[in-house]
Amino acid sequence: MSLRTLAVIGTGLIGTSVALAARRQGVTVYLSDRDESAARTAEDLGAGRAAPPPEPVDLAVVAVPPSLVAPVLAESQARRLALSYTDVASVKSRTEREILATAPDPTRYVGGHPMAGREWSGPRAARAELFRERTWVLTPTRLTSKRAFDRTLDLIALCGAVPRVMRARAHDEAVALTSHAPHLVASLMAARLRDGSAEAAHLAGQGLRDVTRIARGDSRLWSDILESNAAAVAEILTRLQEDLTGVLAALHDLASPGPAVPGGTGTGGGGVVPVPGRHALVDLLDRGIAGVGGLDGAGGGRRGAPGRPEAPAFPVAGGR
């Protein structure tokens, strides 16, 4: 199966990047956005035509915030925009429940989430190569038809991404840890910079810029994402809070005068450092090193052949 026509609803960073990748492969793309200027900008960038298709397209990509996916899908299906549908929202469980309850034909839909992005938003930030060798999660429901699943696989292949099938809840728990909570932590750190001195800004190095880079993301979009995945994100932040409480106790221990032992980590190795606080910090730092090491080889999706799915976690239904 190969895609000939595609509709992209929402011409932000991800939607326009999908459209650019599809156009590069010769697919006819139709663009729409509630902000007509965004759709026209995407059109000017070569992402497709900012016009409705003359007949149902092979696949429609719903590229809107999580809370809008279900109503946009229902409206699109009601006007028969496409033969099959997918989305690119970063939260799946709530969206899946709403779609199963409200979509005119949920068999024609499969949830999707490309694990790619940038700190910038809008169509001008889009790149056709954004998804190359990146993981693209699919979350088929018990009703998803093989035709909808296969058409979405075709889209993933022409974008050069690597498909991975997951259940919606498992996906949401994973991205809470790997994306949503990190964005909040980056924002918390970046917000502290507002209270910093002018001298501190001049001393900011690449480490701080790496930590805070994603804090530039669209605040309205991210508030929607965090609300849609609030429980999973809260669970991660609760664990972080527990770790932070231990770190604070260690730092207060180190900062307060009291019994100490020689042979600490001061200059020349001859300083004196309270042992409990030092050990607590070293333990946390070591756990951090181990955690980062676990990312080595995973590469955010740079494993396997682009366009070839891993074994589905569960079967999809037959259908149109």
> CB–CB of 7/57 below 8 Å?
yes
pLDDT at 60 over 70: yes
pLDDT at 250 over 80: yes
Beta strands in the chain (DSSP E): 5-9, 28-32, 57-62, 82-87, 109-114, 135-139, 162-165, 261-262, 272-273
Question: Quick one: pLDDT band at residue 256, thresholds 50, 70, 90?
Answer: confident
Question: Quick one: pLDDT band at residue 119, thresholds 50, 70, 90?
Answer: confident
How big is the chain by its Cα radius of gyration, in Å? 23
pLDDT at 273 over 60: no
List, as one string, the DSSP characters of 1-57. Answer: ----EEEEE--SHHHHHHHHHHHHTT-EEEEE-SSHHHHHHHHHTTS-BSS--SS-E
Section 71-98 average pLDDT: 97
pLDDT at 197 over 90: no
Higher pLDDT, 26 or 255: 26
Section 117-121 average pLDDT: 83
Look at residue 199 in the predicted model and tell me its pLDDT: 80
Look at residue 267 in the predicted model and tell me its pLDDT: 46
Q: Which phi and psi angles does 136 have, rounded to 5°? A: -130, 105
Buried b (16+ CB within 10 A) or exposed e, 160-181: bbbbbbbbbeebbbebbeebbb
Count of helices and strands (H, E) across the chain = 12, 9
Tokens of 270: 């001859």
Look at residue 312 in the predicted model and tell me its pLDDT: 46
Over the stretch 165-190, which tens digit does the pLDDT of each residue have? Answer: 999 999 999 999 999 999 999 999 99
Buried b (16+ CB within 10 A) or exposed e, 30-62: bbbbeeeebbebbbebebbbbeebeeebbbbbb
Alpha-carbon distance of 98 to 89, in angstroms, equals: 14
Question: Quick one: pLDDT band at residue 298, thresholds 50, 70, 90?
Answer: low
Section 76-100 average pLDDT: 97
**C-alpha angle 305/155/226, rounded to 5°?**
95
Section 95-120 average pLDDT: 94
Higher pLDDT, 238 or 303: 238
Question: Quick one: pLDDT band at residue 271, thresholds 50, 70, 90?
Answer: low
Question: Quick one: pLDDT band at residue 258, thresholds 50, 70, 90?
Answer: low
Section 47-65 average pLDDT: 97
Higher pLDDT, 99 or 201: 99
Look at residue 186 in the predicted model and tell me its pLDDT: 93
pTM equals 0.80
94-98, 116-120, 180-184 — which is least confidently predicted?
A: 116-120
Tokens of 267: 């200059």
Alpha-carbon distance of 60 to 232, in angstroms, equals: 29
Higher pLDDT, 206 or 17: 17
Section 108-121 average pLDDT: 92
Section 42-47 average pLDDT: 97
pLDDT at 64 over 50: yes
Among 126, 114, 123, smallest CA distance to 153 is for: 114
Strand partners, 113: 137
Question: Quick one: pLDDT band at residue 196, thresholds 50, 70, 90?
Answer: confident
Look at residue 155 in the predicted model and tell me its pLDDT: 98
Over the stretch 14-41, which tens digit does the pLDDT of each residue have? Answer: 999 999 999 999 999 999 999 999 999 9
Amino acid in the structure at residue 29: V
Pairing of strands 109-114, 135-139: antiparallel
> CB–CB of 92/112 below 8 Å?
no
